[in-house]
Amino acid sequence: QKEVEQNSGPLSVPEGAIASLNCTYSDRGSQSFFWYRQYSGKSPELIMFIYSNGDKEDGRFTAQLNKASQYVSLLIRDSQPSDSATYLCAVDSNYQLIWGAGTKLIIKP
Amino acid sequence: NAGVTQTPKFQVLKTGQSMTLQCAQDMNHNSMYWYRQDPGMGLRLIYYSASEGTTDKGEVPNGYNVSRLNKREFSLRLESAAPSQTSVYFCASFPRVGETQYFGPGTRLLVL
């Protein structure tokens, strides 16, 4: 059974601080890794994707991938109250994406 | 360009009733998926269609059937609804394996 694990949280972070979200996966053959954000009652929307080991930055967001450790993370710098949401990690496996249960992030003003 | 659309947005069914959830995408994507999302759980794949004319079971297919009507449309049918099928259903599409999935707004289904 291929799995993606995330801490369910909630993770509480002060406004302006760095939020760090983590995800581990079991399928060593996975090549594509995604972070989605989901507001309550809404559908998931893509934040970042990463294919190669190392860091990928997009604005306030940085995705980090370590295939040897089977670990992917998302850093959010200068956290804003609008970043409060559930963050879903997804990992490709054959024709499917395997999804973590999500980490609920709360940014405190 | 509407992206991925789903109908209906909300539905209440009685146990044993049937219904079809509709999904359409206008992005010319090959692959379309149906997921369900339950509280505290990640998205679970019900069925997928990697390309027009093909459908395959995902993780939780029991109680559901699908039809890939054409490249744009992928429907999900509940033949005899059960309370365990109360959930939020999302349709997603994407161009190719390993690429970003785009989601519809979801259908909230309550089975009494």
* Mode of pairing for the β-strands spanning A54-58 and B87-94: unpaired
Of A45, A49, A101, the CB nearest to B40: A101
CB contact at 8 A, B35 and B46: yes
Who contacts B87 (Cβ-Cβ below 8 Å, separation ≥6)?
B36, B37, B38, B109
Of A31, A43, A49, the CB nearest to B90: A43
* Contacts with B54 from chain A: Cβ below 8 Å: none
pLDDT, one tens digit per residue, over B72-99 is 999 999 999 999 999 999 999 988 766 7
pLDDT, one tens digit per residue, over B22-74 is 999 999 999 999 999 998 788 999 999 988 889 999 999 999 999 998 999 99
pLDDT at site A97: 87
Nearest residue to B64 via CA among B10, B12, B18: B18
Show which residues on chain A lie within 8 Å of chain B, measured between beta carbons: 4, 8, 31-32, 34, 42-46, 49, 51, 88, 90, 92, 94-97, 99-102
Q: Is B53 on the interface with A (CB under 8 A)?
A: no
Q: Is B103 on the interface with A (CB under 8 A)?
A: yes
Q: Do B103 and A97 touch (CB under 8 A)?
A: no
pLDDT, one tens digit per residue, over A31-62 is 899 999 999 999 999 999 999 999 999 999 99
Instruction: Determine which of A3, A89, A94, A95 to mutate to test the interface with B (most B C-beta atoms within 10 Å).
Output: A95
Nearest-by-CA chain A residue for B44? A99
Q: Do B98 and A46 touch (CB under 8 A)?
A: no
Q: How close are the terminal C-alpha atoms of chain B, in Å?
A: 36
Q: What residues pair up with B63 in beta bridges, in sequence order?
A: none
